[in-house]
Structures are given as structure tokens and as C-alpha cells.
Amino acid sequence: MSEAKEERLVTQITPKSEDFSRWYIDLIRRAELADYAPMKGMMVIRPYGYAIWENIQKLLDRRIKATGHVNAYFPVFIPESFLRKEMEHLKGFAPEVAWVTHGGDDELEERLAVRPTSEAIIGFMYAKWIKSWRDLPVLINQWANVVRWEKVTRPFLRTTEFLWQEGHTAHETYEQAQEETLLILNMYKEFVENELAIPVIHGRKTEREKFAGALATYAIEGLMSDGKALQMGTSHNLGQHFAQVFNIRFEDRNQNLQYVWQTSWGVSTRLIGALVMAHGDDSGLVFPPQVAPIQVIIVPISIGNWKDTVLPVALKIKESLDKAGLRVFLDDRTEYTPGWKFAEWELRGVPLRLEIGPRDVKNNQVVAVRRETREKLIINQDNLEEKIKELLALVQKTMFEKALAFQQANTREAENYEEFKSIIEEKRGFIRAFWCGAEECEARIKEETMATIRVIPMDEEGGVNGRCVYCQKEAHTRAIFARSY
């Protein structure tokens, strides 16, 4: 079935090919991932959208704990004096901070910030807890919400309040902190690629783009299907900056007082937006099975006395797939036709649809339809659980390969600025180009093309020789440029 014909079955969705931004908003609302809250810039994550976050949380939390980290929770309010202790950090967040000035009818003696991030409050607590090298490393993560008063918002990508995890660790040495920073960076890359089926480029941010107060910031960058980049996770080596501000010291193995070395890192509900933009099509969402709220939708074909013949078999299949640990939903609603259900569940991005009618019952089979390719398969009901698991694994693999092929086809090299401008205007995507390291060149490129250095890839920093794409001076760093969200 053609894309155009499928689109006519779906209502209230602007075609992706016509208006990507409108398509994104329409799809999130129509598929019931989220809706606008009455407060400007805030969203309500609806159950179908929150189920994705729960799956992300479960899969990532397992990885975080496997590397020795533990979860805790810190207050949502941060005293203003804590933020002002680290002025560079406060300056980086000042325009976005929400302040609490009253408790009930009483004015507070000191304003409280609603956390935009938790380095300050955690730094205060770590100073109380850490006294000796024996207390290190401290490896703590928290799942929480944060508030940043953004001027321009878009559901999941940039909202006033969002959900995330933020890890905060303390170490004896710089080397240990750097090892932790890169461990998490690589964990994020593996997680996003294997669970979300989105290939990413990982590397270091420039000084201009790094986190306020950090020694170095590393990130993973994904390419969305409109050719714009999305920062999907960050890992920061904070050095001893916050340790000195909050006096986080320990007695080392030689009984000397030293400042700890810290890291912080996080991913957020922005990952849900990435899923929509990286995989969705004109007919709606396309979810990778690993994080899909529903992995398999069963649609019984309502013909004749189907409630007596087809429905019992469909219920038995659902029960067996449930026991196999799959997320399955049986759509036995009588007020909608099978055709309407097909279009609805395609819109919602369910990876695999199982159709079963009277003929299928007679032949001991089901019709399986893959969402990402629309391929139809006839599958015998014997050992159906294993066959479905194998098929879902294939869908996951195919989705990643498709996204990787897109990223590779839309990653181009530019040797000079004219070539750079032509690519960014006509084709977008990632541009791999030499950069001399001068902030002036970086700023001029952003000002003139709206493209920024997303990362300096891990294997592209030093050891390479070329000419800066902007000034043509000698350069030893090759960076990834793109327009971004």
C-alpha cells in the first residue's frame, strides 16, 4: 500500500514531507503521547507517552546500577546562596531559573530556585558526607524533574519542566573522574543505539558549547529525519571546580586534604522526541520494539460469528505472548472496523500487528504485519511466541540499520566555506569539516549559517591535518557541524 493511500486513513496529521514541525506536533497530540498544559511551555505526558519513558527508565536504570551506581533523591528547591557560590554556573542558568519567593503568605528570607540541575545542592551534601578516601568514589544517580524557564518550547524537545536522570559522582583523582565521564558517554551511546535504534556520534563539546562550570563536556548527537541534529545525552567532567566552591575535601591515602574530582551526566524525556523524529513517517509513529509501549497488537477480523470462532483463539494467543514477556494488546472493540484499527495502530507505531480471521483460525495461522516495512507474513501458530520474538528482534535490527544508512547518507565533508554553506542550506545533515580551534571561527559559522559544532568525535581530535573550513588556517581537529534543535 502506498504512503499516500495510508495517509488518507489517518486524520489530523500534517504530512511529514509537507511540514516537519507541524507533523511532529500533530503526531504527538493525535497519538496521545502528550498534550499542552494550561501553563505556558509545560506539557502533560499522557499514559501512552509515559509508558515509553518507563521503558527507557527501566532499561537505562539497569545499566546505571550494573556499573556500580545507586539511586537517591535530592530536594527540588535550592537556596539562592548555593547557586551564587558558583557564579559561572548561575550565569549559565540565570535566564531559565524559576524562583520561589513565598511560602504560603509569608515572604521567604531567602529565595529558593526550582532546580534547573542539582550540582549545587548535591555539592553541599557531598561536603557533609565525604571525609576520607575510604568514602570514595561516590556514585549516585537520581531520577527527577527539573524546571528551566525556556522562551521557545516544543513538546519533549524543550519544555519548562521535564523528566530526566542526573548522575553525580565524586572521585579521588582526575583520571578516575575522566574514566567515569567516558564510561557514561559510551553507556549512553550503547543504550540509544541498541534500545532506541538511533545511531549517534559521540565526542567532546567545544569550550563555547560546554556545560557551565565543567572542565569538559561530552555528548551523543543523533541526526533526525529532517536533517537537524539533536543532543541526546551529556556527560561532564566537572574537575575540582564545584569541589572548591562547596569545600568537598577528603583526607587522602597520605593523610593530606584534597579536593574531590566530580562528574555529572544525564538524559531526559527529550529521548521520546528523538524516537518520533528519527523513525516516524507520514502514517505516524514507528517505535523500536525495545521501548514500544505495545510491542504486538492483535486485531481479530470481525466477520460472521467471530466472537465465537476468532476471538477465543485471539485471546489464547494474547495469553501465550503475555506469558512470554511481551507487551501485547488485543483490540476486540466492536465499535471500530478492522481497517480503522489497522490505521490507528500504525499511527501509534506498534512494531508488529497480528491479524486473525476465520480462515486463519481454520489454517492454524496468523497474518503478521511489520510496521517499519509494512511487510505481511503468514506465520503458523505453533511455537508462535519464539517466532514473534525473533521477528521483533529483526524489526529492531532493521530500524537501526535504516537509521544508520540515513545518517551515513547525510554525513558529508566540506573542505571550504562555500561548500559548507551550500550543504547546510540545500541538504542539511552532519557536516564533517576541519576547524582550527578558534572560537571566532566557531561563532562566525553559527552567526552566518545557524550551524554549530555538535561534537568533536572521539577519533577526530588530534592526529589529523587539514585546513579550517572557515579561515583556511592549519587545523588538527575535525568536527561535526549541523543545525540543531
In this structure, are residues 263 and 185 in contact, taking their beta carbons and an 8 Å threshold? no
pLDDT at 2: 36
The secondary structure of residue 68, as a DSSP letter, is T
Would you give the distance in Å from CA 182 to the centre of its chain?
A: 18
Give the dihedral sign, CA 222/228/232/233: positive
167, 263 contact by CB (below 8 A): yes
What architecture is the 411-482 domain classified under in CATH? 2-Layer Sandwich (3.30)
Of 296, 303, 314, 319, the C-alpha closest to 361 is 314
23 sits in which H/E element: helix 20-30
The pLDDT value recorded for residue 394 is 98
Considering only CA atoms, give the Rg of the chain.
25
- Arch. (CATH architecture) of 3-279: 2-Layer Sandwich (3.30)
Q: Give the pairing of strands 411-413 and 430-435.
A: parallel
Q: How many CA atoms lie within 13 A of 66 on its CB side?
A: 9
- Selected from 3.40.50.2000, 3.40.50.800, 1.20.1540.10, 3.30.1490.20, the CATH number assigned to the domain covering 296-391 reads 3.40.50.800
**pLDDT for position 462:** 66
Q: Are 332 and 341 in contact (CB under 8 A)?
A: no
- Fold agreement (3-279, 296-391): no
Domain locations along the chain: 3-279, 296-391, 411-482
Instruction: Say how many C-beta atoms besides its own lie within 10 A of residue 466's C-beta.
Output: 17
User: Is there a contact between 166 and 264 (Cβ–Cβ < 8 Å)?
Assistant: yes
Residue type present at position 25: I
β 138-147/70-71 pair status? parallel
Is there a contact between 126 and 260 (Cβ–Cβ < 8 Å)? yes
Q: Could you give the CA distance from residue 148 to residue 469 in angstroms, rounded to a whole number?
A: 35
Encode the chain (485 residues) as per-residue pLDDT tens digits: 334 334 444 557 999 989 999 999 999 999 999 999 999 999 999 999 999 999 999 999 999 999 999 999 999 999 999 988 877 666 777 788 999 999 999 999 999 999 999 999 999 999 999 999 999 999 999 999 999 998 899 999 999 999 999 999 999 999 999 999 999 999 999 999 999 999 999 999 999 999 988 999 999 999 999 999 999 999 999 999 999 999 999 999 999 999 999 999 999 999 999 999 999 999 999 999 999 999 999 999 999 999 999 999 999 999 999 999 999 999 999 999 999 999 999 999 999 999 999 999 999 999 999 999 999 999 999 999 999 999 999 999 999 999 999 999 999 999 999 999 999 999 999 999 999 999 999 999 999 999 999 999 997 766 789 999 999 999 999 999 999 99
List of residues 6+ apart from 320 with CB closer than 8 A: 384, 385
C-alpha grid cell, residue 408: 551515513
- Is there a contact between 460 and 485 (Cβ–Cβ < 8 Å)? no
Encoded amino acid at 451, one letter: A
Half-sphere exposure of 278 (CA within 13 A, CB side): 32
3-state DSSP assignment of residue 162: strand
Euclidean distance between CA atoms 138 and 70, whole angstroms: 9
In Å, what is the CA distance from 393 to each residue of 123, 386, 397, 400? 43, 11, 6, 11
